[in-house]
Structure 1
Amino acid sequence: MAKANERKHRIAIVGGGPGGYEAALAGAQLGAEVILIERAGVGGAAVLTDVVPSKSLIATASAAQSVRDSGRLGVQAFVPGGDGKPVRPEIAVNLAAVNKRLLAMAGAQSVDMLRSLEDAGVRVVQGEGRLDGPNAVVISTAAGGGGTDFDRIEADTIVVSVGSSPRELDSAKPDGERILTWKQLYDLPSVPEHLVVVGSGVTGAEFANAYRTLGSEVTLVSSRDQVLPGEDRDAAGVIEREFTRLGMQVMSKSRATSVSRTETGVLVELEDGRTIEATHCLMAVGSIPNTAGLGLAEAGVSLTDSGHIRVNKVARTNVPSIYAAGDCTDFFPLASVASMQGRTAIMHALGDFVRPIDLRNVAANVFTYPEIATVGWNENSLAEASDVAKAVSHTIPLSVNPRAKMIGFTDGFVKLFAWQASGTVIGGVVVAHRASELIFPLALAVEHRLTVDQVASAFAVYPSMTGAITDAARALHQH
């Protein structure tokens, strides 16, 4: 805390996404003078056009699928037909109403975050920030954002948290109507008749799953031999089988070379000469950092060839006064990681105790139906690291879990990894409905280096999905 008559440590934060938001709160809590510059709204793309609206859309799709699958539990909804016999009604999805709700929710979340910052004493400026050397930021006030008392501010610490944007290809330029990025989906007035999704990574798989569930015919174009190439192969296999069950066409080992408009929709051309005609196309081919024109290189900040900011495990760049957080860095592109980077950066800059971020401990989730949640080591990373100790694993299929049987959701598993010699839990994979909630016990085990016996000794409710975790831990007990 600053002493009387002593100038407070001044922090300038460029970008109000998860990383910038958490950095601002941490700075205010530790007694610094904090100024946050954000051009669109607090929360950034994560809240306004990415994580919050997309996961809300996916939740709506999951609700629709749960109703469709309720027949497995003996729940039947019928209306009388013309002959008096029961007719099962179709589930109707009002996409315009869905989009209105999720965008309103995203906007309300942004306002709540703004109020939290203001209540903490953070000064929030609507505008664009650009570095002017290692200790200053020039602010260009956004149109309609009102006046400001300054154009250039000196800062002891600068945090850059400007996020990323969907990658666009010249051969498939989004137009916001038929050829779309994931930020443009929320303008659709109705469910697309036939949606082609180019890209089978996390974003592509999530939206393909959601729109197929909402009623679209979906074709997923994947350049790999399996969807979700970055995930556990067994987990990705479950998702691909579910896609097929839903009636989705998955085109593996296929690469799109161009997407063009037609009179009635789009034409997707593949590398092997095949074409796909559809009404809409979603381009999910990665993202690029929003670091151009920020004055980073001029300030001496090291960037990767792709434009990402190089940071260390405390979110610091090679310039001591400049930190960075979130998707604009060369770290793991997750909102939770961005938040942790933001807090870690400020605590380090202000001399508070800080624990360097270990990406091995990061829990991640793919919001398909079922979900895939992961933490720590997996089969891929263990295979690549030949110099590490020997690991063992055990998989419990949900088909033997009583709770999974009760709710009618047995397509999935729990997989646990541990060091063979010590029994220390080093990773896990959960494929299940709401796996994002089930991974937390494994994240705690990995973070605090619990052994399989310690995990197994904890009481899991019977019946519960978490019982599969303790069952997997018991199976790895060493004499």
Structure 2
Amino acid sequence: MSFDFDLFVIGGGSGGVRAARIAAGYGAKVAITESDRYGGTCVIRGCVPKKLFVYASRFKDEFEDARGFGWTTGEATFDWATLIANKDREIHRIEQVYEGGIKAKGGLTLHMRAKLDGPGAVKLADGTRITARTILIATGGRPSRYGDIPGAAHIITSNEVFELKALPRRIAVCGGGYIAVEFASIFAGLGVETTLIHRRDKVLRGFDEDLRDGCMEALRARGVRLVMDEALAGVDEDVAGFRVTLRSGAEIETDLVLSAIGREPATGDLGLETAGVKTGSRGEIIVDSYSQTTAPGIYAVGDVTDRVNLTPVALREGQAFADTVFGNKPTQFDHTLIPSAVFTTPELATVGLSEESARAFGHELDIYKSRFRPLRNIVSGRDERMLMKLVVDAASGRVLGCHLLGPDAAEIVQMAAIALQLGARKVDFDATVALHPTAAEEIVTMRDKWVPA
């Protein structure tokens, strides 16, 4: 049977673009379509614009800290419109790079919605039917929305927050995951009166408990009001903005309500049933270790599979798919040791097992902790402390987890991730010469095991 293409990709985000580009480099005839903008969640309304917002929110600290080092600064002002315009310009640049990389390899890029039309075929929004020997679904995820409370239409998500015309004076952020705490930190840093509402008693479920506690402490210290063990019951518009009613009956006045209660796989209206592609309880596409779905010739990568929903993971899954199917190099991506960061201020970063997870797996542990004020904070007068923690298997001495809270935590943990990937032991950390004076040197100078009080 002849096909129009060797590979047709639905979704122009990180995973889909990487797969398309690598497959085309192997000589495959490739087409890819994106119904919105190339770059997907990460580039358009996720990692990249959010990190730009994080940078913007931290300059207030820079101006304040400068005085401790002898600088005299004038009155600082912030212009939201300038940030948005510069963000848009950078996003447009990266978007062109994403699409251009596929074209440079000879791939065809389309701009319209597509769905499966039986085995080996897709149908475009204009009615065109295209056949492909292999189809890859990489449609990503979308924000979960409140759909069952009065006034849900007044609530925005992380999709819309990047397009706000003006900076609100007050904001209520709903959720306790990394997206929620990041936006709470961003808006607080920009001077917005910020309230974080979460249905549990702690934020960042799944992270090490010390990091969770440290993050909440830091948010409170920076003026974020934490309303825990609560949930939205309704949102009403009034002359001053919005009135948020909580499950307990308490009310909060705000100018903007942002929902960051999670994300879900974007599998709606993809025609999966026409080709026999099975999904799980959250709508995620079920795949094997090679990203193969339950339908022959159809694969899926990235957030649509709801495995580990991070951009670098989608990139590696897309690469592994292309290497396997078109490069004659069968590759399974290992999801067990993935570094991650939460870009609050201060930021936190982690790789490997939390103390709680390691104990649940049956490890006897040695725990090393260091909590200190970085040199810069001492001179500037900032009372913010840094936390470093190593989770070590007591029997083998292998470092199972590295957890950081403080300036440049993400930059530091990236290098620690290499050590853990190589199976480094605590004695290997100890044998590494410290780079002084840095905060990162604490990772290799911690000698005393932590003993609970």
2:18 paired with 1:22: yes
Q: Indicate conservation of the 8 Å contact 1:17/1:163, yes or no.
A: yes
Cα displacement (A) at 1:17: 0.5
Cα displacement (A) at 1:218: 0.7
Q: Indicate conservation of the 8 Å contact 2:188/2:222, yes or no.
A: yes
Q: Deviations over 1:371-400 (max 9, x none)?
A: 1111111123223323xx42322112243x
4+ runs of 1 displaced by more than 4 Å? 6-9, 172-175, 401-410
Q: 1:332 aligns with which of 308, 315, 322?
A: 308
Cα displacement (A) at 1:475: 5.3
SS at match of 1:305: coil
Which residue in 1 is equivalent to 2:144?
167
2:88 and 2:150 map into 1 onto residues whose CA distance is: 26
Which residue in 2 is equivalent to 1:47?
43
**Mapping of 1:221-240 within 5 angstroms?**
221-240=197-216
Which residue in 2 is equivalent to 1:146?
none
Q: 1:251 aligns with which of 227, 232, 242?
A: 227
What is the RMSD of the two structures over their aligned residues, measured on CA atoms?
2.4
2:295 and 2:66 map into 1 onto residues whose CA distance is: 57
Which residue in 2 is equivalent to 1:299?
275
Which residue in 2 is equivalent to 1:383?
359
SS at match of 1:68: helix
Q: Deviations over 1:50-81 (max 9, x none)?
A: 22111211111122332233344454424xxx
Give ranges in structure 2 of 5+ residues lacking alignment: none
1:42 and 1:409 map into 2 onto residues whose CA distance is: 43
Which residue in 1 is equivalent to 2:30?
34
SS at match of 1:282: strand
1:259 and 1:333 map into 2 onto residues whose CA distance is: 30
2:233 and 2:280 map into 1 onto residues whose CA distance is: 26
2:375 and 2:221 map into 1 onto residues whose CA distance is: 23
1:57 and 1:209 map into 2 onto residues whose CA distance is: 10
CA 180–289 in structure 1, closer or farther in 2 if over 3 Å, else same:
same
CA 475–24 in structure 1, closer or farther in 2 if over 3 Å, else same:
farther
2:438 and 2:21 map into 1 onto residues whose CA distance is: 37
SS at match of 2:303: coil
Cα displacement (A) at 1:465: 2.6
2:381 paired with 1:415: no
Aligned length: 446
Cα displacement (A) at 1:9: 7.6
**Mapping of 1:101-180 within 5 angstroms?**
101-141=86-126, 151-170=128-147, 171=149, 175=153, 179-180=155-156
Cα displacement (A) at 1:163: 1.2
SS at match of 1:360: coil
Q: 1:263 aligns with which of 239, 244, 250?
A: 239
SS at match of 2:299: strand
Which has the higher mean CA deviation after the structures are superposed, 8-17 or 300-309? 8-17
Which residue in 1 is equivalent to 2:444?
470
2:387 and 2:401 map into 1 onto residues whose CA distance is: 14
2:309 and 2:116 map into 1 onto residues whose CA distance is: 23
Q: Indicate conservation of the 8 Å contact 1:418/1:427, yes or no.
A: yes
Cα displacement (A) at 1:237: 1.8
Q: Deviations over 1:262-316 (max 9, x none)?
A: 2221111111111111111111111222111111132111211211111233322
Which residue in 1 is equivalent to 2:404?
430
CA 264–405 in structure 1, closer or farther in 2 if over 3 Å, else same:
closer
Q: Indicate conservation of the 8 Å contact 2:3/2:133, yes or no.
A: no
Q: Deviations over 1:190-220 (max 9, x none)?
A: 3211111111211111001100110110111
* One-letter code aligned to 1:93: F
Give ranges in structure 1 of 5+ residues lacking alignment: 1-5, 79-88, 142-149
Q: Deviations over 1:137-185 (max 9, x none)?
A: 22225xxxxxxxx92222222111101111111226565xx63211112
SS at match of 1:196: strand
TM-score, L = length of structure 2: 0.92
2:339 paired with 1:367: no
TM-score, L = length of structure 1: 0.87
Which residue in 2 is equivalent to 1:13?
9
1:228 and 1:301 map into 2 onto residues whose CA distance is: 32
Cα displacement (A) at 1:405: 5.1
1:169 and 1:36 map into 2 onto residues whose CA distance is: 32
Q: Indicate conservation of the 8 Å contact 2:172/2:257, yes or no.
A: yes
CA 410–131 in structure 1, closer or farther in 2 if over 3 Å, else same:
same
CA 114–36 in structure 1, closer or farther in 2 if over 3 Å, else same:
same
